[in-house]
Amino acid sequence: MNDLTFASAKVQWSSAAISDCASVPLKALRVGTSGDRYVVVAGVHGNETTPLYVLRRFLEETEHTEACTIDIIPVVNVLGVALGTRREPLCGEDMNRLLLAQAPDSVARQVMSDLVKFCAEAEVVVDLHCWDSPSAVIGICHRAPVSGPSRELRVLASFGCDYVWIPGSEDGIEGTLGQELTRLGIANCAIELPAPGSVDRRGVGDFSKRLRKALVGPHSRCQLRCGQREAIHAVAAGLYDPLVSAGEDVNQGTCLGRFLDPGTLAVQGVASSHCTGILMDHAGRRVVHRGEVVAHIGTGGDDLSASIAEVN
């Protein structure tokens, strides 16, 4: 699975470029011509390849739909994908950590500013990424549900996310595409697929079908586990030795990892979960300082049970 071209797709590139920055036109593929408009984005981080394979399969299998219009931008960070780098290589910026209110004085800022404009009037924008887990799928929704599930949660529930994180103001992550879209009142969500190399061809096909269900339907009733996340801090300085993989469910008191003396490897302390939930991210085996965040636990949160088809 090393061919990332989309030449075999049965749909056509849009005639108008979204952005011509870096002499690499950013274009969209369109499926369908009626109904609500969805925008699906991938390749913001150039080293996250799982979504690219999923979108290629989705385009090969979804020649047309009359249920909605789907604009797909399979590669945003064009040069980053070509070089396998997370950041945009010309300016060295993380394209998902930009404050777009500032002047677009770099390639990355110009591309993302043009992308945000393209997403205007979309029913929902879906931003595909991948993370460290070998199997779990995490959804991210920047708007907390007020009176039942939102349009974004309908998409995440239909996709079958294992957990949906609703970031709080204290999470400290700024400049994401989702935050900018939310600020402009554009409904959006992100889906973190399993890590590159952990999804085989059958898995790619499964995620393609789940994406089609999330966008086109049919929708069904389901349970959706939502909540915020809590940080686990290092109780000692030293070499951190993680014992639990990202994406696993943990209970209060679960030992997540050990702090070792770098010289003798003697145990100096342990990192324990102080709540029940899902391990959202986890520091790798590296030297850490006392008080440093080594993991985040997605708390149990609320179980939202809703008829997804009835969500407006």
pLDDT, position 309: 34
> Token pair for residue 226?
């939502």
- Amino acid residing at 76: V
Over the chain, what is the mean pLDDT?
84
Own/partner contacts of 108-111, CB < 8 Å, gap of 24 or more, are 108/77, 110/19, 110/21, 111/19, 111/21, 111/22, 111/26, 111/76, 111/77
Does 137 score more than 80 pLDDT?
A: yes
Query: Could you tell me if 45 and 76 are in contact, meaning their C-beta atoms sit under 8 angstroms apart?
Result: no
Ramachandran bin of 32, using left for φ above 0, alpha for ψ from -120 to 50, beta for the remaining angles: left
Domain ranges of the chain: 21-227, 230-299
Query: Could you tell me if 282 and 294 are in contact, meaning their C-beta atoms sit under 8 angstroms apart?
Result: yes
Does 139 score more than 50 pLDDT?
A: yes
Greatest C-alpha distance within the chain: 65
| Class (C level, CATH) for 21-227 | alpha beta
**Mean pLDDT of all residues in 200-221:** 89
In this prediction, what percent of the chain has a pLDDT beyond 70? 82
Q: Are strands 293-299 and 255-260 parallel, antiparallel or unpaired?
A: unpaired
Secondary structure class of 109 (helix, strand, coil): helix
CATH architecture assignment, domain 230-299: Beta Barrel (2.40)
Confidence of residue 125 (pLDDT cuts 50, 70, 90): very high
Whole-angstrom CA distances from 79 to 12, 36, 43, 99, 292 are: 22, 31, 10, 21, 33
Which residue did the predictor score with more confidence, 9 or 252? Answer: 252
Please tell me the pTM assigned to this model: 0.86
Gap between the Cα atoms of 130 and 132, Å rounded: 7
Q: What is the pLDDT of residues 151-183, one digit of tens each?
A: 888 899 899 999 999 887 666 577 889 999 998
pLDDT, position 15: 46
